[in-house]
Amino acid sequence: MKNATLHFEFHISITALIMFLLKTWRASAFGVYGYLNFTRNGFLYSLIFREHSKKFKPEDMEIRIEGKNCVVTGANSGIGFATAEALASCGATVYMVCRNKEKGETALSKIQSSTGNPNVHLEVCDLSSISEIKSFASRFSSKDVPVHVLVNNAGLMEQKRVTTSEGFELNFAVNVLGTYATTELMLPLLEIASPDARVITVSSGGMYTTPLTSDLQFSDGKFSGAEQYARNKRVQVS
């Protein structure tokens, strides 16, 4: 019985060691690959950000921003939902830009319920379509309200190469063109709110895993959704 126990413990220890080494190898390989591909400045900025993030104080979020109009794209889930909810909890008037109306309405209801803020609104727009973005911007402009904060959060990582009806690779259409077009068309409303206006684009550290190339729509070579996403995120901050 004692030998069986020792064998069991030894087996568990070996398994744990193998899992640890495997995770370490994967993390190291990912880090080395990124280090060899991203710029030196990008690497240094990532280290600086890591240090600054340690100084973040939760109480800095304890502010009231009633009267501020905030537009958040991709707001029905993830970072976008959390951002919209946080802004609403601070008293802001929030406009949630979502592609899916049903999911958007569900998210809106949750935020109104959790924050008690009735000034949360849904705007339906497919950010892979320039024509839809133009229609959204036109509708929103008719509200005649300034935009104090625009959060470009909507993003996509489609693993297959799909082309939109307007002829653009889908990831590129959402992550790059959609972000640019939304910001450009919102500029007049942001300028009204100046100097308090802010544009925040949610990028990703994943951009450091691949270099930026001129093949923005990934027309050449074997398509990779993850690599295209990384390229798109590099474009956002370039």
**Helix, strand, or coil here: 71?**
strand
Active-site residue, selected from the candidate residues 33, 35, 45, 229: 229
**pLDDT tens per residue across span 153-187:** 999 999 999 999 999 999 999 999 999 999 999 99
Instruction: Give the mean model confidence (pLDDT) for residues 36-59.
Output: 67
**pLDDT tens per residue across span 145-156:** 999 999 999 999
Phi, psi of 119 (to 5 degrees): -90, 55
| Gap between the terminal Cα atoms of the chain | 64
Domain ranges in the chain? 2-37, 57-237
On the question of pLDDT at 232 being above 70, the answer is: yes
CB of 150 closer than 8 Å to CB of 198: yes
Report pTM: 0.78
Report, at the CATH architecture level, how domain 57-237 is classified.
Answer: 3-Layer(aba) Sandwich (3.40)
Query: 232: number of CA atoms within 13 Å, CB side?
Result: 29
Instruction: Give the mean model confidence (pLDDT) for residues 194-201.
Output: 93
- The verdict on whether 95 is a catalytic residue reads no
CB of 136 closer than 8 Å to CB of 150: no
Tokens 């919102």 sit at which residue?
186
Q: Quick one: pLDDT at residue 29?
A: 61
Q: How would you classify the pairing of strands 120-124 and 149-152?
A: unpaired
DSSP element (H, E) containing 148:
none
